């Protein structure tokens, strides 16, 4: 499970490098991340800690 401010990288999809976790969905299935001024949402299973 991820926590706010964790640094993560995507294991699927477009590789944007290291991203910072900014929030989690209620069930924990989705993770909100910030990278290069963008806020994105990834499925938790597609992320690993950096």
Can you give the CATH number for the domain in which 32 is found?
Answer: 2.30.30
What pTM does this model have? Answer: 0.90
Question: Has residue 19 been placed in a domain?
Answer: yes
pLDDT tens, residue by residue, 8-33: 999 998 889 999 999 999 999 999 99
39 pLDDT tier (thresholds 50, 70, 90): very high
Across the beta sheet with 19-24, the strand order is: 38-43, 30-35, 19-24, 7-10, 47-49
Identify whether the C-beta of residue 18 lies closer than 8 Å to the C-beta of residue 35.
yes
Question: Has residue 41 been placed in a domain?
Answer: yes
47 pLDDT tier (thresholds 50, 70, 90): very high
Domain span at residue 21 reads: 6-49
Residue 34: per-residue pLDDT: 97
Number of domains in the chain: 1
Question: Has residue 1 been placed in a domain?
Answer: no
């Amino acid at each position: 499970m991820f926590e706010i401010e964790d640094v993560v990288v995507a294991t699927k999809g477009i590789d944007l490098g290291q991203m910072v976790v900014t929030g989690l969905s209620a069930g924990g299935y989705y993770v909100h991340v910030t990278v290069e001024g963008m806020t994105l949402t990834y499925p938790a299973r597609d992320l690993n800690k950096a």
